[in-house]
Amino acid sequence: MSAYNTYFLWILCSLLLLLNLDSADSCPKKCGGIHIPHPFGIGKGCYLNPWYEIKCDHNTSLSVSKKPVPVLAVVDKEVVGIYLEGSIIIKNRITSKGCSSDGEDFESLLNLTGTPFYLSPSNTLIAAGCDNTASLTNIEPSMVGCKSRCGKKNHTPTQDFLEGECFTDYGSDENCTEKSIAKEKFCSGIGCCEASIPGGRQQIVGVRIDNSTTAKGCKVAFLTDENYLLANGSDTQRIHAKGYVTVMLGWFIRMPNSSFFDSLGCLTTKKYNIAKQIEHATTFGIDCTCDYYSSFSTYGRCECTEGYRGNPYVSGGCKG
């Protein structure tokens, strides 16, 4: 090979390297103060595949804001946090009935069908208002809901006002009433109730307020991962005015085949073997593991092994 050719190749390699570094570096790391880690990304070439696309936008389905906010494009929901352990927190509209003067009610439905996102079981159903029976829809054959009541004015508030019960038929092991009463201490002045949601990976769930009751007044119901809202459960009008709550979704990596997982240089394993593999990985100083499963597509999760921190979804992203 001539000196000229060698020189030319060297230039080409340097250029390619530069371009490569440049494309990774040019991806925005943040939007609206929220950190956007890979596989999520803003702009073409920055997200792993379109499921993980984040739009940094002023105009969201909930509002038009002054500063841009991150929006999970596939479901068009504003994002308030992304966690590499496999969760993402989004804003979602609440279900309401009898709250607005123009008589407009709203029933929320979260449809994640066909995406690698699902409703995290750490959310709970919360309903507030007088004589409010709220339930989850689209999760047949299960029936999950709760009922909140307001007591009579001339009784001692603590007991009467805080009457709530929940119902569920997906398993009787949960002490539903006990649980809802325990949380009721956060609701003051008016009834509110809470029910836990079925486990598993629910991808479509709605929240409905029963319309058979004759009681007037503003009723709200929603799924949320927030606890602090309960403290203000008394004020259904204020919750309605805010219009949304945050919901936690779980996520995993979904790809047509295992090549992405294989490219990360992690110790890979098939589902249910992870404990054994982690033990193995620590012994040999491997910085990350991927647990994935292949059928019609490949899905799984990766994590940095003990002693390493960072992003397992970037090659060499776990640092000691």
Residues that bind ligand NAG (CB under 6 A): 59, 64, 111, 113-114, 138, 175, 178, 204, 211, 228-229, 231-232, 255-257, 259
Shortest reach from residue 5's CB to ligand NAG, in Å: 31
- Report, in Å, the least distance between residue 255 CB and ligand NAG: 5
Cβ 295 to ligand NAG, closest distance in Å? 14
Q: Which is nearer to ligand NAG, 14 or 175 (CB)?
A: 175
Nearest-angstrom CA–CA distance, 157 and 219: 20
**Residues 31, 85: Cα–Cα separation, whole Å:** 20
Which lies closer to ligand NAG via its Cβ, residue 211 or residue 273? 211
d(CA 252, CA 84): 9
Residue with tokens 């995290």: 120
What are the Cα distances from residue 28, in Å, to 65, 105, 146, 193? 19, 38, 43, 41
**Of 79 and 255, which CB lies nearer to ligand NAG in the complex structure?**
255
For ligand NAG, give the closer residue by CB, 26 or 65. 65
Of the pair 74, 286, the CB lying nearest ligand NAG is at 74
What's the CA gap between 257 and 210, in Å, rounded? 45
Q: How far from each other are the two terminal CA atoms of the chain, in whole angstroms? A: 42
Nearest CB to ligand NAG, comparing residues 87 and 138: 138
Residue 97 DSSP symbol:
E
Minimum CB separation of residue 36 from ligand NAG in Å reads 21
Q: In the chain, what is the greatest distance between 2 CA atoms, to the nearest angstrom? A: 99
CB of 110 to ligand NAG, least distance (A): 10
Nearest distance in Å: CB 261, ligand NAG: 10
Alpha helices in 201-312, H assignment, sequence order = 236-242, 259-263, 274-283
Angle 211-213-216 from CA coordinates, rounded to 5°: 95
CB 31, min distance to ligand NAG, A: 17
CB contact at 8 A, 41 and 57 = no
**CB nearer ligand NAG, residue 5 or residue 259:** 259
Asked if residues 237 and 218 have their Cβ atoms less than 8 Å apart, the reply is yes
Q: Is 269 left (phi over 0), alpha (psi -120 to 50) or beta?
A: beta
